[in-house]
Amino acid sequence: MGIGKNLQDLLELKNTNVNELSKKINVSPQTLYSIIKRDNMKVDFEILIKISDELDVSVEYFYNKHKENNSMPSPAEFEHLKKYRSLDQSGKETVDVVLDAQYKRCVGGDGDASSAFSDAAEGIC
């Protein structure tokens, strides 16, 4: 997967499109469409910086996402992190309990995941 596919996926995730991004970063829509269509790993770095800044991801996101065991968070994961950081302590504790329960259910573990959370999401993993 090249930069073009990553850009296309990111635009969908951010509920925007090439024309809107083009206006915001002052790069022609044709240039952005060309990046998406070529889908290779060579893009003008200045343009990539503008895209990254506007879509709130690192430049590395576009280069690392194609790796099989990518440790770089996806845009959706970044969105979760932003939401989590805006929660108060009670909200964070609630999310932590649910996340721990689901993690244990999906990957196994010897902890006692809350059956209410486990039963509610049975079969998701």
Q: Is residue 12 part of a domain?
A: yes
Q: What is the CATH number of the domain that holds 35?
A: 1.10.260.40
Q: Is residue 8 part of a domain?
A: yes
Residues 6+ apart with CB under 8 A from 57: 10, 75, 78
Q: Is residue 82 part of a domain?
A: no
Tell me: do 10 and 64 sit in the same domain.
yes
Q: Is residue 80 part of a domain?
A: no
Tell me: do 7 and 68 sit in the same domain.
yes
- Structural domain total, the chain: 2
Q: Is residue 17 part of a domain?
A: yes
What tens digit of pLDDT does each residue of 7-27 get? Answer: 998 999 889 999 999 999 999
Task: Provide the token pair at 57.
Answer: 């991801």
What is the reported pLDDT for 43? Answer: 86
Residue range(s) defining the domain that contains residue 40: 3-72
What tens digit of pLDDT does each residue of 40-71 get? Answer: 778 899 999 999 999 988 888 887 655 544 55
Kindly tell me if the per-residue pLDDT of 81 is higher than 70. Answer: yes
Task: For residue 113, give the amino acid letter.
Answer: A
Phi-psi region of 32 (alpha: psi -120 to 50; beta: other; left: phi over 0): alpha
Distance between CA atoms of 91 and 94, rounded to whole angstroms?
A: 5
Tell me: do 32 and 65 sit in the same domain.
yes
Tell me: do 16 and 67 sit in the same domain.
yes
Q: Measured on CA atoms in the order 37, 41, 42, 47, is the torsion positive or negative?
A: positive
